[in-house]
A and B are shown apart, each in its own frame.
Chain A
Amino acid sequence: MRGSYNFLFSLFCLTSVTLISPAQAQQKGKKNNSSKKDTVNNKIDSLKAKQISLDEVVITAKESKGLSTASIIDRKAMQHLQPSSFTDLLALLPGGRSADPNLRSANLIHLRQTGTPSTGYDISSLGTSFLIDGAPISTRANMQYTAGLTAQSDRNTNRDITAKGVDMRTLSTDQIERVEIIRGIPSVEYGDITNGVVKIIRKQGESGVEARFKSDGFSKLAYVGKGFAFPDQKILLNVDFDYLDAKADPTNRYENFKRVNTSIRLNKLWENNTRDIDLKSSLDYGTSFDNYRSDPDLDLLSVDKYKSTYNRLAFSNNLNINFHQLGFLKSIVVNSSLSMQRDQINQTKWVQTGAATTVNPYTDAGVHDIGFLPPNYTANLLVDGKPVDAFLKAMANMGFKSGKINHAILVGAEANYSKNLGLGQVFDPYLPPSAGMSTRPRSYRDIPATKDLSVFAEDRINVMLGAHKLEMVAGARAMTMAGLSAVDPRANAHWTLPGINIGTQQLQIELGAGIGWQSKFPVIAQLYPDYTYYDLEQLNYYHNNPEYRKANVMTYKFLAENRNLQPARNRKWELKADFSMNRNRLSITYFKESMTNAFRNGSELKIMDFKKYDASGLDPDKITAAPDIKDLPYQDWRRMQLVSVVLNNSALYKEGIEYRFASNRVKKINTRITIYGAWFKTVYENHQPVYRIEDRVIDNKQFMYAGLYADDGGYIRSQLNTNAIIDTYLPKVGLEFSTAIESSWFSSKQNTRSTGTPISYVGLDGISHPYTEADKSDKYLQWLNTDISESQFAKTTIPIDVNVNFKVVKNFKDKIRVGMFVNRIFNYAPDYTVNGYTIKRSGLNSPYFGMELNFNL
């Protein structure tokens, strides 16, 4: 806490010093007014140059001019945004909005989506691929979940990214030169995706020592980097290091997140008359730690600790051979990477049993006599994951001309290998991390590796039809992994109309359309799930004399594997229009995406037989030994259970209009207005019939019927927002500032229709019976029927909510930049009424602010 303030204070001092000193410098300058005219002229020249380059300065995301719909965020935009992690950049996408960094839980990407999806819809983030200089960040072998500790209070729940994709907290932004986020239909070059591609291009080339220090209420961030050039050897070398230390909140020093990223990148060029060979190699190391320990004021023992570490070492190569001769073959690109991770969760918990509790350490199915847990103990859980991922991709670019048509052909192949060499879930089965949990230790080494192979080809044509220009790309990608396969055709077209003269200006109209399928393979945790154990109590004889106590269970062990699991597949289509005139540009995209087989944790109905032993015949006061089940009478008993299994049952439909308008930078005041936003509608549904069991005890028995319901229901979410950013550059005084007005015009939510009456039900006999009207008044079966009130399906709309953010940066001779930002300096969010409830929103938003300092020496 104190450290953070000290840091802020020092930054403030530095800011003041740098602000005051130029004023003194100016006074000095006045005295030397008779200095050489040349310098003045030089200054004017450089100012002019600055003026021209300012037109190019865009502090928001640019809309790509390419065939795929994409947002481009460059260094300038990132500098102005002052981000803490990659997550913050997403505020620049259509539909995005600036939000305070949340570094205490995993940050997942949800492109073109509104609403907070529940766990059945993780496909959005899982199906978005992150490529760093062409090499993917694979999360396929990630299994850092904590078995048996699924309670909300568990520290890992919010940080678990198993089958959820990349945690953007771990990605820093300072090493990045440029980001391209493909929201639309990507080239067939990119596979194992359903939703999008994030292409990160890192800094390359000579630079001075660049440094950045940022501080806000939660975190401190530091970055140092330098680029070296060896022109004789045609070598470029870049070295970067960055560090982030964030607290859960400013008053909590027991929960924090730390991140370190460092990278060495080498670029070597071999040139001759026939070809150029460009080799880019990089060695990256990244680590992050989530720490939690209990507050000693609240917890006398201070035993409870949670630490999750992530370590990634990656070696990537990017070989690019360009042929100069005008032959058929233009270039060959080979990308490869090998990454090794060592991820560990170390959790220590003081477990206090609520009362006498049994424990079953056995991993084999069948009947076991088991023991009781000690009253309290310290439990240790280690989740050790060592994912190893290898990636190889080779592509050839070819080109030829037939008639008026230019063809550019891309063919290639990609292979990925993922394996987890970790020790897995490690704990003492006699002292489990949670009393009453049924999970057992599991080694990840025994899980097979996954290997995928893809081939792809596309043809890009380019044709001039009079003054019209038509560009089209069509291709397909075939992929296979672990017996699964998918073929994804994709096509994009772009038509540039002849310019229309309006006065002295020319209006340029471009239209585009695309359609494409994208498939994502399941991850290792979904392909090879752990066993699910059930320990059914057959006898629990807790005699007052510890010697005579006996507990006996029947253990069932299910491998909840889904052999019919298919890759999730998303179909996208979109229409685009782009208008530009005098450097003013308006882009509009309409899209529709539908995915009906996304992964979700569903369930299978299992019926288990066991015996209930009756010890009431024994006289507890006369026995001389613990009872043996062999000697006891019993009753045959059954129990039904829904066992979790990964299914292809989630449906996700996305529809929307994305828009962006950027004005020309108005001369004199050097001001640009950018307006961007989106209307999104997202529908989350589970189409398939589902079994539900009432977890209730009725008349001394566990409820023993399962209802089959036609529809699991779903959610409809929509939103419309607009962000208007006005940014001004005053190069003479080295000042840049921006005001962002972020308006959420509305957001709404609604549940889709569902029924509370089952089609049929299954009893303990395992036979399905139709559910009749008479069953609605049966002592037990009435519980399967729920009258869902009409208000469940009513639409709720949250009205307008406007934030104003302000950022200012002072630039000193391009050497030092001092920045400051305040988000939500103003907030307008009127109270509103839902079902007679007034929801108060005013006064709930406090500003978020921070400062930063950049050096380029």
Chain B
Amino acid sequence: MKMTLRNLWIPLCALLMLNACKKDSVLDSKQIALNLVLENPSGLTDAKLSEVKVTFKEINTGKETLSTNVDQQKMNITLGEGSYDVSLAGQITYTEQGKSKTKKVAGLKQGMVLTGAQHSESLALFIVEEGEGFVIQEIFFTGTQTPENKLYLGDKYFVIYNNSAQTLYADGLVIGQSDFLTTQKRDYTPNVMSEAVAVGSVIKVPGSGTQYPVLPGKSIVIADDAINHKEYNPVSIDLRKADFEIFNEDADDIDNPQVKNMENVYGRMVLHNRGFTSYVLAKFPNGTDDFLTHQKYDYSYNLQVGGVVYPMDQEEYKIPNSWIIDAVNLSVQSDFQWIVTDPSLDMGWTFCGKLSADKTRFGKSVRRKVLSTTTEGRVILKDTNNSSLDFEAEAKPYLMQ
């Protein structure tokens, strides 16, 4: 029984080699025949689609396939195996009270999985109601970075703009921050996204109804803390001129007496500084009490952490889609998974920074693009309910001098 260590090293090394030589299976690119059925918005008579353009974006590779080939409300196309975001843009012509009308139409389906040989899918279309009332003009959610590379957070703000030709009143306008993250797709049950947006915090403009007029083409600024932040961070913003500020009582927050406070309808509004949440602008038709009493949203989901699945129950509020005036989805390229509003509210998303916790995002905001200027000089902002197109991403904040 003679055996030296050297005899042993060889099998030992061989073992190590074996371990290293595990191969991952190679993906075969199969082709699938997709039959996409386009469903017109309900309640329209003699509806006809035209100028339809459908984009199929493969989520993993980012590869986009375009098609305009619609026949009898159907599109037949052959695509490679994968997961797709399908978006549609076009025109719809229909008759209303004897008159023919043409409007923009859109549709979005997220995360359509194509496997097998054939696949059928339907795509619900909706009419794009171009915004004419209040819109979210700007969200400065990233905060700033101090000269020492530390986060500075109190200088965030919203700008709400009157995009109509009439004077509107800001009294009772609410801003809700989505409870779900655009970077975390989960099966929330019950799924109410087609009817409402789940919100984790809601703030409201005070007033009796006619206290805070906003002229056509004018805006209001709602600041986190309406103070001169340059006192605390030289590269920050002076927000003393804000119209409203968010003041969290009982939370060591400060209150500038010269600026009106927003009402905290629900939760504490802390803007997600990486931009993973979405925001909605709404008005409660039956008041705050009605909202607080009847719109509680209890849901459950599975949380997956480190190879373990935890069933979770959570409670928040939801704002019905019909109460919502405007919505903006925010995300980042590297982590985007889904939009957290119904596509009829917003079928796109905008961003500051391309990565999660992107250092370049600080001091940047998202700003709605200008569509046109009227002869009287009133600026009309672009609102096609698609934030990808309507917003300028990584813009210079309007209030930053």
Contacts and interface: CB of A to CB of B under 8 A. Distances in A.
Interface of A: 19, 23, 298-301, 350, 352-358, 372, 375-376, 436, 535-537, 540-544, 546, 551, 612, 615-616, 618, 620-621, 639, 668-669, 696-702, 730, 732-733, 735, 737, 749, 756, 777-779, 782-783, 786-789, 791-792, 794, 796, 798, 806, 808, 810, 822, 825-826, 834-837, 839-841, 843, 847
Most-contacted residue by chain A among B255, B288, B292 (CB, 10 A): B255
A809 B288 CA distance: 75
A732 B227 contact: no
Interface string B243-281: 000001110111111100001111110000000000000
Nearest to B151: A352
Most-contacted residue by chain B among A353, A778, A788, A794 (CB, 10 A): A353
Contact of A356 (B149, B227, B250, B296): B227
A702 B16 contact: no
Nearest to A353: B232
Nearest to A796: B309
A544 B256 contact: yes
A541 B255 contact: yes
B252 A357 contact: yes
Given A298-B149, A355-B155, A541-B255, 11 more contacts: A350-B148, A356-B227, A358-B254, A376-B148, A542-B227, A543-B257, A546-B231, A749-B308, A789-B311, A791-B302, A791-B311
A641 B121 CA distance: 53
B227 A697 contact: no
Contacts of B55: none
Contacts of B12: 806, 808
A756 B248 CA distance: 28
Nearest to B257: A620
Contact of B289 (A540, A616, A779, A840): A779
Contact of A350 (B6, B150, B253, B263): B150
Contacts of B1: 668-669, 730, 732
B228 interface: yes
A375 B254 CA distance: 14
A354 B265 contact: no
B296 A782 contact: yes
A19 B254 CA distance: 72
A453 to B, nearest CB: 46
B36 interface: no
A700 B154 CA distance: 20
Contacts of A358: 252, 254
Contacts of A615: 257
Given A542-B254, A730-B1, A796-B308, A808 B265 contact: no
Interface residues of B, number: 61
Given A541-B255, A696-B267, A699-B292, A356 B152 contact: no
Given A700-B265, A825-B15, A300 B149 contact: yes
Contact of B258 (A621, A668, A825, A839): A621
30 contacts: A19-B5, A352-B150, A355-B227, A356-B231, A358-B252, A358-B254, A375-B233, A536-B250, A540-B253, A542-B254, A543-B256, A612-B249, A696-B267, A697-B248, A697-B264, A699-B292, A700-B263, A702-B249, A735-B5, A749-B308, A783-B315, A791-B300, A792-B313, A825-B19, A834-B308, A835-B302, A837-B302, A837-B309, A839-B307, A847-B16
Contact of B257 (A354, A436, A616, A697): A616
B153 interface: yes
B334 to A, nearest CB: 18
A732 B1 CA distance: 9
Nearest to B245: A542
Contacts of A535: 252
A756 B313 CA distance: 10
Contacts of A354: 151-154
Contacts of B315: 783, 786
Interface in B113-168: 146, 148-155
B109 interface: no
A407 to B, nearest CB: 53
B304 interface: yes
A791 B288 CA distance: 33
B369 interface: no
B21 to A, nearest CB: 12
Contacts of A840: 307
A355 B225 contact: yes
B258 A698 contact: no
Contacts of A702: 249-250
Interface in B49-98: none
B3 interface: yes
Contacts of A621: 258
A198 B211 CA distance: 74
B99 interface: no
B61 to A, nearest CB: 21
A542 B252 contact: no
B293 interface: yes
Contact of B300 (A536, A782, A789): A789
A788 B313 contact: yes
Contact of B254 (A355, A843, A847): A355
Given A375-B231, A699-B288, A300 B148 contact: yes
Nearest to B292: A779
A835 B311 contact: yes
A737 B307 CA distance: 34
A754 B311 CA distance: 14
Contacts of A749: 308
A355 B154 contact: yes
Closest 8 CB pairs of A and B: A355-B154, A375-B232, A352-B150, A791-B311, A354-B153, A542-B254, A834-B309, A789-B300
A301 B149 contact: yes
B311 A639 contact: no
Given A700-B263, A783-B315, A810 B5 contact: yes
Interface in B294-311: 296, 298, 300, 302, 304, 307-309, 311
Nearest to A841: B307
A682 B229 CA distance: 53
A735 B5 CA distance: 8
Contacts of B307: 798, 839-841
B311 A376 contact: no
A162 B4 CA distance: 51
Contacts of A843: 22
Contacts of B296: 782-783
Given A356-B154, A779-B289, A697 B268 contact: yes
B228 A544 contact: yes
Contacts of B308: 749, 796, 798, 834, 839
B252 A537 contact: yes
Contacts of B229: 355
A542 B255 contact: yes
Nearest to A849: B16
Contacts of B254: 355-358, 372, 540, 542, 551
B148 to A, nearest CB: 5
A702 B288 CA distance: 16
Given A537-B252, A541-B257, A796-B308, A786 B148 contact: no
A787 B298 contact: yes
B179 interface: no
A766 to B, nearest CB: 18
B159 to A, nearest CB: 19
A756 B315 CA distance: 12
